[in-house]
């Protein structure tokens, strides 16, 4: 019971850190270009994981390397889209839209090749929550004044939706990889591959990176690299052995709530009108998906849902 209580507390603390990172990164982007920030974050996290789990890479089979590297490349795509979108949208909207990853997973799970091993096609409950989440997304992305979300959604919102799609593919990859690779090796190779992918793509997508050293940049860099990435992977992998999947997913659904609360306290951002209603619908979709998981969304997907970590 003590370990279960500790696992719940650590997961809750991890989600709180993920939620606050949206504001930290938003503030840091005033001093550093987004893709360079991602590269610096993942490089430091990779170094930390190598120092802790480096021995787990000895004798790792080629198949394990391949699937871990593939997961890292998808994770890199998600982070790049998320951070680029965050520069053009608000922290709370970024957090809510990133949470749509749980909605995308049932649709991707229709493919037998993508579906997690040992699971069937997603049921009606999964698609019901997906429809609810899509309605929330439309309201959240629509500006005031009666404009349609489909014609007036900002570029940052669309980039963030793309990030959620990449994270959904990443989660399905994790469901396959976790069956063959230890969590230590998977975390280490994955984050290393993420950093290398970001380094390779930086000259093409951000040819003139900018960095001005400041206290807010250093704070965001250290928190996101060491706590929201390296430590978060380790904590989540340990805690899920003691926390039921439905509890884990429900805790993870609090991430956008923490992000909105932090954004309100630090930046004074408020969600009003349709945006507030859309936010409630997105959270409702996440909660329903957590409480009534279908065959297409196995516990492993819920347990890993915020590693994207994505998120944050």
- Model confidence pLDDT, tens digit, residues 115-164: 766 666 777 776 777 777 777 766 765 555 555 444 445 788 889 889 98
Segment of 64-73, 176-185, 237-246, 258-267 carrying the highest mean pLDDT: 64-73
pLDDT in tens, 19-52: 888 788 888 999 999 899 999 999 999 999 999 9
Residue 312 in domain: no
Listed in sequence order, the residues at least 6 apart from 276 whose beta carbon sits closer than 8 Å to its beta carbon are none
Residue 307 φ/ψ, nearest 5 degrees: -65, -30
Of all residues in the chain, the percent with pLDDT exceeding 90 is: 28
Query: Which residues lie across from 211 on neighbouring strands?
Result: 32
CA of residue 57 relative to chain centroid, distance = 25
Q: Examine residue 219 and state whether it is found in any structural domain, yes or no.
A: yes
pTM of the model: 0.74
Residue 109, pLDDT above cutoff 50:
yes
Q: Is residue 310 part of a domain?
A: no
Joined together, the tokens standing for residue 116 give 């997690």
Return the number of other C-beta atoms located less than 10 Å from residue 1's C-beta: 6
Q: Which is more confidently placed, 57 or 236?
A: 57
Asked if pLDDT for residue 230 goes beyond 90, the answer is: yes
Q: Is residue 83 part of a domain?
A: yes
Q: DSSP E strands: which ranges in the chain? A: none
Q: What is the mean pLDDT of the chain?
A: 78
Asked if the model's pLDDT at residue 237 lies above 50, the reply is yes
- Arithmetic mean of pLDDT, 207-227: 95
CB 265 within 8 A of CB 277: no
Give the pLDDT band of residue 221 (cuts 50, 70, 90).
Answer: very high
Radius of gyration of the chain (CA): 18
- 56-70, 112-126, 206-220, 243-257: which range is least confident on average? 243-257
pLDDT of residue 168: 84
The CA distances from residue 300 to 25, 172, 290, in Å, are 28, 9, 12
Query: Rounded to the nearest 10 degrees, what angle do helices 245-252 and 2-28 cross at?
Result: 30
Q: Which residues of 253-278 are buried (b: 16+ CB within 10 A; e: fewer)?
A: bbbbbbbbbbbeeeeebebeebbeeb
Kindly state whether residue 311 falls inside one of the protein's structural domains: no
CA atoms in the 13 A half-sphere facing the CB of 253 = 23
Residue 101 forms part of a structural domain: yes
Contact 246, 252 (CB under 8 A): no
Q: Which residue has the higher pLDDT, 153 or 270?
A: 270
Structural domain range at position 249: 2-304
Pull the structure tokens for residue 304.
């890993």
Domain membership flag for residue 64: yes
Other beta carbons less than 10 A from residue 289's beta carbon: 30
What's phi and psi for 61, nearest 5 deg? -60, 160
Residues forming a β-bridge with 23: none
Q: Specify the range with the lowest mean pLDDT, choosing from 9-13, 95-99, 140-144.
A: 140-144
303 and 93 Cβ atoms separated by less than 8 Å: no
Write out the two tokens for 93. 């909207």
The per-residue b/e assignment along 38-71, b for 16 or more CB within 10 angstroms, e otherwise, is bbbbbbbbbbbbbeebeebbeebeeebeebbbbb
Question: Higher pLDDT residue, 237 or 220?
Answer: 220
Structural domains in the chain (count)? 1
274, part of any domain: yes
Q: For position 32, what pLDDT does the model report?
A: 95
């Amino acid at each position: 019971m003590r370990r279960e209580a500790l696992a719940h507390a650590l997961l809750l603390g991890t989600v709180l850190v993920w939620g606050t990172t949206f504001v930290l990164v938003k503030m840091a982007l005033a001093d550093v270009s987004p893709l360079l920030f991602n590269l610096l974050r993942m490089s430091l996290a990779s170094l930390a994981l190598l120092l802790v789990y480096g021995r787990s890479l000895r004798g790792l089979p080629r198949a394990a390397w391949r699937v871990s590297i593939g997961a890292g490349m998808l994770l890199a795509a998600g982070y790049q889209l998320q951070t680029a979108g965050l520069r053009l949208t608000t922290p709370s909207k970024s957090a809510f839209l990133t949470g749509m990853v749980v909605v995308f997973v049932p649709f991707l799970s229709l493919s037998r090749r993508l579906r997690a091993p040992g699971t069937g096609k997603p049921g009606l409950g999964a698609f019901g929550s997906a429809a609810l989440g899509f309605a929330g997304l439309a309201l959240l992305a629509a500006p005031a004044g009666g404009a349609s979300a489909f014609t007036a959604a900002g570029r940052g919102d669309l980039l963030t939706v793309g990030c959620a799609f990449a994270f959904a593919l990443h989660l399905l990859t994790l469901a396959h990889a976790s069956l063959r690779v230890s969590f230590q090796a998977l975390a280490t190779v994955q984050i290393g591959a993420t950093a290398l992918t970001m380094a390779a793509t930086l000259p093409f997508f951000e040819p003139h990176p900018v960095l001005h050293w400041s206290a807010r940049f250093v704070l965001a860099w250290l928190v996101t690299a060491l706590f929201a990435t390296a430590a978060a992977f380790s904590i989540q992998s340990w805690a899920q052995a003691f926390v039921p999947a439905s509890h884990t997913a429900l805790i993870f659904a609090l991430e956008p709530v923490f992000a909105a609360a932090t954004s309100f306290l630090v930046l004074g951002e408020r969600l009003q009108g349709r945006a507030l209603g859309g936010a409630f619908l997105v959270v409702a979709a996440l909660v329903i998906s957590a409480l009534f998981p279908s065959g297409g969304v196995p516990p492993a997907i819920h347990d890993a849902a915020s590693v994207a970590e994505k998120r944050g």
